[in-house]
Structure 1
Amino acid sequence: MVGYGPEDNHFVAELTYNYGVGDYRLGNDFLGMTVVSSQAVRNAQKLQWPLKEISAGVYETEAPGGYKFCLQDKDSPKEDPVLKVTLAVSSLQKSVDYWSKLLGMKVYEEDEGKQKTLLGYADDQCKLELQGVGGAVDHGTAFGRIAFSCPKEELPGIEALMKKEGQKILTPLVSLDTPGKATVQVVILADPDGHEICFVGDEAFQELSRVDPSGGKLLDEAMAADKSHEWFAKCNIQKPSA
Structure 2
Amino acid sequence: MCHDLKSFWGISPAIPQSQVLGVKASELLRPAESTTKTNNIGNVAEMNSNLTEDSALRWAKKDKRRMLHAVYRVGDLDKTIKFYTECFGMKLLRKRDIPEERYSNAFLGYGPEDSHFTVELTYNYGTDKYNVGNGLHFGITLDDVAKAVNLVKAKGGKVIKESVLLDGNGKVITYVEDPDGYKFELSEAATTPEPLHHVKLCVGNLDRSINFYKKAFGMDLLSKQDNPEYKYSEVTLGYGPEDTNPVLKLTYNYGVTVYDKGDGYAQIAIGTDDVYKTAEAIKLFDGIIALEPGPLPGINTKITACLDPDGWKSVFVDNVDFLKELE
Q: CA deviation at 1:61?
A: 1.0
1:160 and 1:57 mapped to 2: Cα distance? 42
Q: For residue 231 of structure 1, what is the aligned residue in structure 2?
A: none
TM-score by length of 2: 0.58
Describe the shift of the 1:38–1:115 C-alpha distance in structure 2 as closer, same or farther (beyond 3 A): same
Describe the shift of the 1:42–1:149 C-alpha distance in structure 2 as closer, same or farther (beyond 3 A): same
Describe the shift of the 1:45–1:158 C-alpha distance in structure 2 as closer, same or farther (beyond 3 A): same
1:115 and 1:47 mapped to 2: Cα distance? 29
- CA displacement 1:72-116 (0-9 Å, x = unmatched): 122233x22122110111111111111112211001110122310
Q: How does 1:1-242 map to 2 (within 5 A)?
A: 1-30=107-136, 32-39=137-144, 41-46=146-151, 48-49=153-154, 50-51=158-159, 52-55=162-165, 57-77=172-192, 79-113=193-227, 114-123=232-241, 124-133=244-253, 134-151=256-273, 154-178=274-298, 183-210=300-327
* Alignment gaps of 5+ in structure 2: 1-106, 166-170
1:169 and 1:126 mapped to 2: Cα distance? 24
1:95 and 1:70 mapped to 2: Cα distance? 22
Q: CA deviation at 1:178?
A: 4.2
Q: CA deviation at 1:41?
A: 4.1
Q: Specify the code of the residue in structure 1 equivalent to 2:266.
A: G
Q: CA deviation at 1:69?
A: 0.8
Residues 58 and 70 in structure 1, CA contact (< 8 A), matched pair in contact too: yes
**RMSD of aligned C-alpha atoms?**
2.0
Describe the shift of the 1:156–1:47 C-alpha distance in structure 2 as closer, same or farther (beyond 3 A): closer
Q: CA deviation at 1:46?
A: 4.8
Q: Share of identical aligned residues, percent?
A: 26
- Which is worse superposed, 199-208 or 157-166? 157-166
1:155 and 1:72 mapped to 2: Cα distance? 35
Describe the shift of the 1:57–1:167 C-alpha distance in structure 2 as closer, same or farther (beyond 3 A): closer
Q: Specify the code of the residue in structure 2 equivalent to 1:101.
A: K
4+ residue runs over 6 A deviation: none
Partner-residue secondary structure (3-state), 1:112: strand
Q: For residue 224 of structure 1, what is the aligned residue in structure 2?
A: none
Partner-residue secondary structure (3-state), 1:162: helix
* Alignment gaps of 5+ in structure 1: 211-242
- Which is worse superposed, 188-197 or 161-170? 161-170
Q: Specify the code of the residue in structure 2 equivalent to 1:36.
A: T
- CA displacement 1:151-182 (0-9 Å, x = unmatched): 2xx32221112333342100000112445xxx
Partner-residue secondary structure (3-state), 1:16: strand
TM-score by length of 1: 0.77
1:200 and 1:41 mapped to 2: Cα distance? 37
- CA displacement 1:98-137 (0-9 Å, x = unmatched): 1112211001110122310000012221010001132212
- CA displacement 1:174-216 (0-9 Å, x = unmatched): 112445xxx3110101001111110000001012135xxxxxx
1:111 and 1:23 mapped to 2: Cα distance? 36
1:167 and 1:70 mapped to 2: Cα distance? 29
Residues 41 and 73 in structure 1, CA contact (< 8 A), matched pair in contact too: no
